[in-house]
Structure 1
Amino acid sequence: MTSIQDLTKRIKGYADEHRPNLHIIPDDLFLGLIIILVAFGSFGLGRLSKIESSKTPVQFENTTETSSEKVRPFPSTNATDNQLVASKNGTKYYYSWCTGVSKISPANLIHFGSKEEAEARGYT
């Protein structure tokens, strides 16, 4: 059996053998590197605080603006008259409120009353 004192000597001996050699860098060079790193860190933090303080906060005002453009009410899904629209030259039908309908010329518009009617005429 080994005593506690023998164990501490073995542990300290192992630590002394495997401890990194910190005396490779001279003390003056080490102090200079520390000063340079602190200077760069301080400069970076100062720049960061200046950038953060120069940002203006976002402010919301409760003002309502009226536009001259009329707002269309959303069409009800129960309406069956002229709900579907297609182009004479195309193969697809659209709902009348779809933005793609605005690209179809009014002369080429076809109106359908139901989905079945549009599909019966060959539109998908």
Structure 2
Amino acid sequence: MVEPSNIEEYVKKEDFDPSTSSGQVRKEGDWKDKLKNFIESKYFVLVVIILLSIIAYSLGRISGLENKRPEVKIISENLGEVKGVSSAEQAPSTTNSSEVVVGSKNSNKYHYPWCAGAKQISPQNLITFNSIGGARAAGYTPASNCKGLK
């Protein structure tokens, strides 16, 4: 058991915070004091500069991601006239650009004009059809590497 004369050695009256009713022990270096000391220190400016640079970098990355997406451009190209049909027999060009398909003289496959296979066809071998039905009537079948063909 501890003798009353030794109690003053371990516990001092000033260690208790009188503002609390529960009598909690006041810690040396209260958080408010620590914050005040940190703000007044030479490291505060360094920490603020580092945090601001991280925030600015993050905002730049976020805004840069929005600009990377390319715009979708619809380019209407004149691919030539349909072989085997005279210009007098051709219907007025009211066809949808999505219905136009192209094929090659050397193949029996048809493609949309924007497909990779259609871009490899040389201009002298290129045949343009106003519809998928026209390409099928000419004996052409859809290319397997062109998405969306039936």
- TM-score bracket, normalised by the shorter chain, equals 0.3 to 0.5
Greater length-normalized contact order (CA 8 Å, ≥ 6 residues apart): 1
Give 1 or 2: higher helix fraction. Answer: 1
TM-score by length of 1: 0.38
